[in-house]
Structure 1
Amino acid sequence: MSTPFSPSRAAIAVAAIAATVVLTSCSAANPATGSQDSLSSADPTAVTVGIPGMLLNADVFLAEQNGTFAGAGLAVKNQVITAGANAVPQLLNGSMQFGVVDVPTAIIATQQGVGISVVAPMAVGSSGGRGFGGVIGRSGSGIGKPADLVGKKVAVNQLNGTSQTLLTAALKKQGTDPSAVHYVEVAPEQTIAALKNGRVDAAVTGEPLISMALGMGMSYVLNQERDTVAGAATFVFVAAKSYISSHPAAVAAFAKAITAANVAANSDPAAVKQIMIKQDQVPAALAPSIVAPTFGTSAVSVKDIQTTIDLMVANGQLPADRAPKPEDVLTSSS
C-alpha cells in the first residue's frame, strides 16, 4: 500500500524508461508515412494512438467513425494502454505516435527530462455532483461520505496519478486529513473484483465501472474533480518531442482532428453511448445510467497544467523547487 506522500511509482517508471529508450530510439523504425509539409487524404499518414481501455476513448472512435481522421490525412491504428506511463516507451522508440496520459504523468515526464510533450486535449474535469469519474465505497465498508475514507484502502489505477492527486486535494478541501488514506494500485479491469472481495474498501474509478458498482448496491462517495479541476485538463494526448519536430504537419492534423471530435462527442452523447456499447462492450441496458466524460474542446492551456502542478506540490507529490514550468509540458499545437 502507499500513502499520498510516497515516492511516485510513475516518476520512477518514467525515469527508467528514459534511460532505456535512449539506447534504442535512434535506430527505431518510424511507421508514419506521408509528407511532413502537408497531409493528404489520398495518401494518409499512418499513426498509432494509445488509448485507454474505457469510455475515455469515445472521441477517438468517433473521429474514425465520422471520417474526421481520414479527412485530416491520417490513418489511425488504435492500441489499448492500461496506464499513461505504459505509452511512454512506445512513444519514445517510435512504435506509437500519440498516447493518452493523465496530466500528472505528463508533468512528471517533463520534470524527469523525458522527451514527450502535450499535443492535444482529451478530457476535462467534471463540475457535477456525480461525474464520469468518482469514488465508490464498497457495500458494507461503512463509507458513505469523504471523511469515511480515512484509514481505508482506496484503489487507484496508478499511484500518484490523477486519481490520487485529485482525491487527496478534494479531501483537503473537505477538511479531511488525506495522509491516513492508503492507496492501492489496481488495474481498472480488476476494480470491481477488488471491491467485492474486500481487497480495497473504496476505489477512484470511472464509467462504466461506477454504474456497475452502483447497480451492485455500492455507494457514490465523491466527485473528486468538482472542487479541484472542474473544466481543466485531466487527460491529454502526448507525443515524443522528436516526432513533434520531425512530423509537424501530422501533429497539427491530429490536434485539429481530435479537438473537432471532442466537440462532436460533447454535443452528441447518444453517439458516445453507442460507441460505448459497440467498442467498449458496455451492456446496452447499462448505457442510460452512464455519465459520459466531458472532452476538452480547446487547446490545453498553461493554466490547466499549472492547476495540477499546484495540487501536486500541495500534496507533497512534487517538490516545489523541482516543479517544471507549465510551458515546458506543452507544445504550441496543444
Structure 2
Amino acid sequence: MSLFRRALAAATALLTLTAATACGADAEAAGQIKELRYQGSAGQVTLPELAADLGYLGDVELDWIGNVTGGPADIQATATGQSDFGGAFNGAIVKLVAAGAPITAVVSYYGSDAQTFQGYYVLDDSPIRGPRDLIGKKVGMNTLGAHAEAVLKTWLARGGLTPAEIARVELVALPPVNIEQSLRARQIDVAVLGGVIRDKAVAVGGIRTVVTDHELLGAFSAGAYVFRDDFIRRNPDTVRTFVGGVGKAVEWARTQPRETVVARLQQIIAKRGRNEDTSLVSYWKSSGVAGRGGVITDQEFATWIDWLDAAGELKGARPEPGDVYTNGYNPFATGGGAA
C-alpha cells in the first residue's frame, strides 16, 4: 500500500471513530433522565419548584411524588431510589454518607441569615432563659437527627451542660405545622421554628426567642440537595442543568423585591392545585443561602463532621468534606451561572 493510501486509510478510520464517538455521546446525552422525582413541602415552594417555574431547568422536568416533613427522610428516599433528589441539613447528609450511603451533595438550598433563621421559642411567661433551664423540658422540632437537634445540642454544650444533662432534654418530633400549636397548648416547653412558619408564629405574638442558630453560628448555608452517585454518573447533564437552575433561582430570589418573590410563590402554589394554604409564603424573606448560586464551602460540612465525630454519632469512618459534596456541576463555582 502506498504512503498516500496508508494516510488516507488512517484518516478515514479516525473520522469514523470520531463520528462513532460523537454519536455515542449524543445517544448517551439523549438517554439521560429528564424527569426528576422529588418530595415537596405542603404550603411552601422549594427552590427546584421555583427554578422550574422561572424556566431555569430547561428540558428537565419535576415529578412531585408527595410531601415530606424532614430532611433525613427526604435524603433516605433518594439514597434508596424512591426519589431522584432530596434535601437535608448538612449534618444529616454527613451521617448518611458516613454510614455508607452512595450520595453526594451538589448545591445548597437553605441556610440562616439575619432575615431567615431557625429559632428556639418559648411562651412569654416561660421561666426558660438559658441552656440549663432546658434540663427535664420538652423541645418540639420537625425531625430528629438534623439541623434543629444539632444546633440545640451545640448550644447546650457551649452552655456547660454535660452529656448526661443534655440527655435529659427531651426531643419531640412533630409536623412543622403543628409545632406552634403544641407550644401554645403547653404540650411542649420549647418550639423550634424556622422560615415562614416562624415568621407567622412571631406575628401572632405571645412567644419569645431563647436563642437562634444565626446568633449561635452566624450566617451559613445549612442544607443541600443530594443525588445518588450512580444517578450522577449516568445523568451528568441533567444534574448540571438542575444545579445551575437551582443556583439561578437562589440569585433570582436574592435580587428581586420581596413582594415579587412572594407573589411568584403564591402563584406557583395556586397553579399546582394541591389544595394548599398560601398564607405561609406571604411571610417569606430569604432562602438564607450564603454562597452565590448555592455554591458549597468545606466549612459548611466540616463544622458538622467535627461535631458529629466528637459526639460519637458517626457510624463508619469519619468523612472529609470533599467526600460529601461537589461544586463540579455548579456554574456559579467558576464565575458563571448568570441568568
**Normalising to structure 1: TM-score of the pair?**
0.75
**Structure 1 residue 224 corresponds to structure 2 residue 213:** yes
2:321 to 302, 323, 326: 326
Partner of 2:34: 45
Residue 140 to residue 275, structure 1, CA distance change in 2 (3 Å): farther
Tell me, in whole angstroms, the C-alpha distance in 2 between the residues paired with 1:282 and 1:142.
Answer: 35
Partner of 1:103: 90
**Other structure's SS at 1:69 match:** coil
Residue 205 to residue 298, structure 1, CA distance change in 2 (3 Å): same
TM-superposed CA distance for 1:209, in Å, is 2.3
Tell me, in whole angstroms, the C-alpha distance in 1 between the residues paired with 2:215 and 2:308.
Answer: 17
Residue 38 to residue 145, structure 1, CA distance change in 2 (3 Å): farther
Residue 35 to residue 307, structure 1, CA distance change in 2 (3 Å): farther
Tell me, in whole angstroms, the C-alpha distance in 1 between the residues paired with 2:179 and 2:27.
Answer: 44
Tell me, in whole angstroms, the C-alpha distance in 1 between the residues paired with 2:197 and 2:77.
Answer: 28
TM-superposed CA distance for 1:255, in Å, is 0.8
Deviations 1:15-54 (A, max 9, x none): xxxxxxxxxxxxxxxxxxx9653799xxx92112333446
Deviations 1:234-284 (A, max 9, x none): 111011111111111111111111111111112223333234545363428
Deviations 1:304-333 (A, max 9, x none): 2111212223444337x8322221111333
1:307-318 counterparts in 2 under 5 A?
307-318=303-314
**Other structure's SS at 1:322 match:** coil
2:121 to 122, 136, 147: 136
Residue 201 to residue 115, structure 1, CA distance change in 2 (3 Å): same
**Structure 1 residue 124 corresponds to structure 2 residue 119:** no
Tell me, in whole angstroms, the C-alpha distance in 1 between the residues paired with 2:159 and 2:240.
Answer: 41
1:140-179 counterparts in 2 under 5 A?
140-145=125-130, 148-175=133-160, 179=166
Q: Which amino acid aligns with 1:292?
A: S
- Structure with more of its chain in helix, by fraction: 2
Residue 36 to residue 219, structure 1, CA distance change in 2 (3 Å): farther
Structure 2 unaligned blocks of 5 or more: 1-25, 270-275, 331-339
The question of whether the paired residues in 2 share the 8 Å contact of 1:39 and 1:249 is answered with: no
TM-superposed CA distance for 1:216, in Å, is 3.9
Structure 1 unaligned blocks of 5 or more: 1-33
Deviations 1:173-211 (A, max 9, x none): 455667143211112122122212222111112132223
**Other structure's SS at 2:107 match:** strand
Tell me, in whole angstroms, the C-alpha distance in 2 between the residues paired with 1:133 and 1:54.
Answer: 18
Tell me, in whole angstroms, the C-alpha distance in 2 between the residues paired with 1:162 and 1:199.
Answer: 22
**Other structure's SS at 1:203 match:** strand
Tell me, in whole angstroms, the C-alpha distance in 2 between the residues paired with 1:245 and 1:161.
Answer: 28
The question of whether the paired residues in 1 share the 8 Å contact of 2:99 and 2:314 is answered with: no
1:277-296 counterparts in 2 under 5 A?
277-278=266-267, 279=269, 281-283=277-279, 287=282, 291-295=285-289, 296=291
**Structure 1 residue 87 corresponds to structure 2 residue 74:** yes
Q: Percent identity?
A: 20
* Number of residue equivalences: 289
Q: Which amino acid aligns with 1:62?
A: L
**Structure 1 residue 76 corresponds to structure 2 residue 62:** yes
Tell me, in whole angstroms, the C-alpha distance in 2 between the residues paired with 1:220 and 1:151.
Answer: 19
Query: For the pair shown, which has the larger CA radius of gyration, 1 or 2?
Result: 2
Q: Which amino acid aligns with 1:164?
A: E
**Other structure's SS at 2:329 match:** coil
Q: For the aligned residues, what is the CA RMSD?
A: 3.0
The question of whether the paired residues in 1 share the 8 Å contact of 2:140 and 2:188 is answered with: yes
